[in-house]
Amino acid sequence: MTFDQYGYLVPYEVISADFDTFETVFVKNFSNTSKRHQWFKNYVAYVGELKTLLGIGFTQWVDGSFISQKFNPNDIDFVTFIDFERYEYFEKEIELIKKRRYQRTSGTDGYFIKTYPIGHKLYSIYQLEYKRWLFDFTVDLYNKRPKGIIQLDF
């Protein structure tokens, strides 16, 4: 993976990665004194719980200082895209998982988006949410610089 002079991923778009590459670039390539190792351990537990609940078939976009070259990122920011029917089936369990983002000590800041197929009455709402997250994640909130984000498919 390539980074610009500010430590942001390039190209400035959604970059698909496999989980092993993600771990190597953003965790293993940093010394054990970085917070990255603890944040990643907590993130793996979070994803593990989602996999236990949902199986496979969901996608995450990962953003924030964790996917930059910052030595001690604040946390791991991510949004999980889940088919609306599966989301609604597991809504109670997902709501409990969502509450973890308020436990700031875990370093996981996760959000969820229900995905809808073309033709569904809520598809346009999903597209607005998709575009909002794409914009929010590909532009630095504070300095307005563009940046790439990571997509992980589970």
pLDDT digits (tens, 9 = 90+) for 66-101: 999 999 998 999 999 999 999 999 999 999 888 877
Domain count, the chain: 1
Average pLDDT, the chain: 93
Domain extent for 40: 2-153
User: Cβ-count burial of 3 within 10 angstroms (0-12 exposed, 13-18 middle, 19+ buried)?
Assistant: middle
Helices 91-98 and 36-54, interaxial angle, to 10°? 170
pTM confidence score? 0.90
Q: CB-side exposure of 105: number of CA atoms within 13 Å?
A: 0
